[in-house]
Amino acid sequence: MLGIVIVTHNSEEVIGRCLHACAVVPDATVLVIDNASADGTADQVRRRPAVRLIANRDNIGFAAAVNQGIEQLGTSHVLVLNPDVVLCGPVAGLLDACNGPVGAATGRLVDSRGQARDDFHLRTLPTPWTLAFEALAVNRFWPGNPVNRRYRGAHSGDRVEQPSGAFLLIAREAWRAAGGFDESFAPVWFEDVDFCKRLRDLGYGIAYVSQVAAEHAGGHSVRGLSWEERQTYWYVNLLKYVSKHFPARGRLVASLGVTLACFPRAAIEAVRARSVTPLAVYSRVIWAAAKCLSNGGASSHERAARMSAVSGGGAGTAAG
């Protein structure tokens, strides 16, 4: 059995095309988890009686909403889609690839011109140096550096380490074994990276099926965030990932990279905005980097809480 979970937040302009395209999977149950949209997203969904809707009163974040959807569906496999992703055809190839030691599968993401978006969608799991280079913008000014070449657009044949959560089929068994998505990565960013890392640590592979494609507009999920929110969420969740998965030396490399990046960014943005707000934002990021250095790994309490959330029901409050 296949379910499709789509997490929305102010997605009125894109959700229609996404839901229309889901008709290419006629036997799938489609469930939209709406995270407190203030626009007409929920109304768009309600116009399609074949689509189920859970309208959360609060924005519980992407990870919590995905867990909520997978738990509610109860299907053996769930395809997680961003609302700005449009399926280009059937997804049977993903289902065929996702069995046994393969816990998840993804296909090819393309833009509106049919060009592959591999640099966004297919990556290796990040190393401390990868994340330091990202923070310091080394990859922007020297995209051909060896660290970035290995990181972006990377896959080996029919396997990939870390596809994005925008287009990802997950076996319910693997999701449960991993304890679901870690809801502390809220509201967005690095929750999919963390989930793929934990799948790999458990011995599950992630299949890449290039014959299955979907169009991705990109940028929808962060368009409504303020500059302050984008900076804070991205850096803080990056540092959560670092703290959770890297030993002391790795935490030092990544945290120093983030800290060093904050000083010029704060100065440039403060001058550009003629405001001290960027100084306050990057001060919080530096404080998070300092905490990352001293607090490594997920606590046993956090792991138990994730497992309890997965086995005990959906996350958050919902109104049908």
Check residue 296 and give its pLDDT: 60
Domain regions of the chain by residue span: 2-125+161-222, 225-301
Check residue 3 and give its pLDDT: 98
- Per-residue model confidence as pLDDT tens for the chain (320 residues): 899 999 999 999 999 999 999 999 989 999 999 999 999 999 999 999 999 999 999 999 999 999 999 999 999 999 999 999 999 999 999 999 998 999 999 999 999 889 888 888 999 999 999 999 999 999 888 988 998 888 887 777 899 999 999 999 999 999 999 999 999 999 999 999 999 999 999 999 999 999 999 999 877 767 788 999 999 999 999 999 999 999 999 999 999 999 999 999 999 999 999 999 999 999 999 999 999 998 765 443 344 444 444 444 333 333 33
Task: State the DSSP code for 181.
Answer: -
Phi and psi (nearest 5°) for 136? -80, 0
Check residue 305 and give its pLDDT: 43
Measuring CA to CA, which residue among 144, 6, 137, 140 is closest to residue 66? 6
Measuring CA to CA, which residue among 151, 180, 161, 164 is closest to residue 68? 180
Per-residue tokens: 209 = 């099926």
The CATH number fitting domain 2-125+161-222, selected from 3.90.1150.10, 3.90.550.10, 3.40.640.10, 3.30.565.10: 3.90.550.10
Cis peptide before 187 (omega within 30 of 0): yes
94-106 b/e with 16+ CB inside 10 Å = b? bbebbeeebbbbb
